[in-house]
Amino acid sequence: MTSHERIARIGRQNGATLINDWSKANIFADDGFAFDPAWFKQIAANPGTVLTYQNRPVLAHVRNGSQATALRDGNLPPDMKILRAEDRISIANDELRKRETPFVLPLREDTARAIEQASYNGAYKGVTDLLTKYLWPKWAFFLTKMAASVGLTPNMVTGIGFLFCVTATLCFWTGQYWAGMATGLISMVLDTVDGKLARCTITSSKLGNIFDHGIDLVHPPIWWWAWASGLDDYGTPLSDEIIDTGLILIVGIYVLQRLIEGAFIAKFNMHIHVWRPIDSQFRLITARRNPNMLLLFVFLCIGRPDWGFIALAAWTLASCLFHVVRLVQASVAALGGRQVESWLAG
């Protein structure tokens, strides 16, 4: 897309309409630059602020006509607060659970690849699981770039990922664990790609968010149920009592853990994974889909998917207990008059 269209999309995502009349605008953007959408939110929330790159105004939120006139003439109004991109200013991004230095780069042929990489990096969550954080990035970058180049929308990618998700479920159900791992892996990577594609192309939507997160919310316990159901066909059966107990633990605690996370957000207006550094570190391995799949993969490699199912139940319980303790600790801190806020905010 052109820089002009990209800025227009960023504006629309933030409730602003792009116009070309200086006299009617209060936020100004130079389309000779590419900048992280996080900068638009930062500038929009702070009237009287201008973002510069090598003393050239890139993005500004003016308070009056004199400031607008100065910017139109290429000058920096003396009564505006200047944020220099060269100072590598760090800001909190609550949506992506990270503290980041958003990029600002002049849009030229020789900077195109750097902008492409910076845009992708900026779309990545800071607090997530270890596979998404350390293994997926290069794969997802290639797939995101390919999807954008052929015109796939984020919802199309989500739909393709859903088909692989269903295929993985059927494979697990019939004890074809290696095929399930392969198709599940594709599904998991595409689950990263759709979000990155939406953020990089500024095409996020409420419907897409519901579609993506709805699948993410529902399918993991179905995978674990299917895994347990396939043990007989694979040749490593467990007793009905063990399977029933394991599924009650896994599914019940999965729901409970989601409720705990929701309660933390409702009470403290932030995710439980970003309260203190230990919470962000534990998010790398907590009993969510990707770490759970890694756990099952390890036991599958030694030919004991049944042990993997038991280990999954135990790890789900341990992770839930950790989060229960953290919710109680945060609540006690709040009752004691201490402010409970994200460590990323500092």
Whether residue 331 contacts residue 275, with contact meaning beta carbons closer than 8 Å, is answered with no
Structure-derived torsion over alpha carbons of residues 184, 250, 268, 341, reported in degrees to the nearest 10: -70
Q: H or E stretch including 327?
A: helix 305-335
Query: With respect to CATH, is domain 123-345 assigned 1.20.120.1760?
Result: yes
> DSSP letters of 89-107?
--EEETTTTEEE---EEE-
pLDDT at 39: 93
Residues 325, 260 contacting (CB under 8 angstroms): no
Number of H helices, E strands in the chain: 14, 8
Report the predicted TM-score, pTM, of the whole model to 2 decimal places.
Answer: 0.88
Task: Please tell me whether residue 250 adopts helix, strand or coil conformation.
Answer: helix
Helical axes 177-200 vs 206-229, angle rounded to 10°: 170
- pLDDT band per the 50, 70, 90 thresholds, residue 321: very high
Q: What is the pLDDT of residues 322-338, one digit of tens each?
A: 999 999 999 999 999 99
Per-residue pLDDT of 42-97, as tens digits, reads 999 999 999 999 999 999 999 988 888 888 888 899 999 999 999 988 887 777 67
Cross-sheet strand order for the sheet of 56-61:
27-29, 56-61, 49-53, 81-84
Query: Using N-to-C axis directions, what is the helix angle for 206-229 and 305-335, rounded to 10°?
Result: 130
Angle, alpha carbons 31-94-106 (nearest 5°): 20
69 C-beta neighbours (distance < 10 Å), count: 14
Mean pLDDT of 264-293: 95
Which residues of the chain does CATH 1.20.120.1760 include?
123-345
Phi-psi region of 280 (alpha: psi -120 to 50; beta: other; left: phi over 0): alpha
Question: Tokens 């605008």 label which residue?
Answer: 25
Summary mean pLDDT of the chain: 92
Note the pLDDT of residue 91. Answer: 82
The label of the residue with tokens 């990089």 reads: 200
Q: What is the pLDDT of residue 95?
A: 75
CA atoms within 13 A on the CB side of 15: 3
- Per-residue pLDDT of 156-209, as tens digits, reads 999 999 999 999 999 999 999 999 999 999 999 999 999 999 999 998 888 888
Contact 30, 58 (CB under 8 A): yes
User: By CB neighbour count within 10 A (0-12 exposed, 13-18 middle, 19+ buried), where does 18 fall?
Assistant: middle
Q: Tell whether the model's pLDDT for residue 214 goes beyond 90.
A: no
Helix 177-200 vs helix 136-150: crossing angle, to nearest 10: 60
The helix-helix angle for 305-335 and 289-301 (nearest 10°) equals: 150
pLDDT at 346 over 70: no
pLDDT digits (tens, 9 = 90+) for 247-260: 999 999 999 999 99
End-to-end CA separation in angstroms for the chain: 35
**Structure confidence at residue 43 (pLDDT):** 92
* Residue 25 clears pLDDT 90, i.e. is over it: no
C-alpha torsion sign, points 17, 23, 28, 30:
positive
Do the beta carbons of residue 38 and residue 234 sit within 8 Å?
Answer: no
Query: What pLDDT is stored for residue 247 in this prediction?
Result: 95
Q: Which amino acid is at 313?
A: A
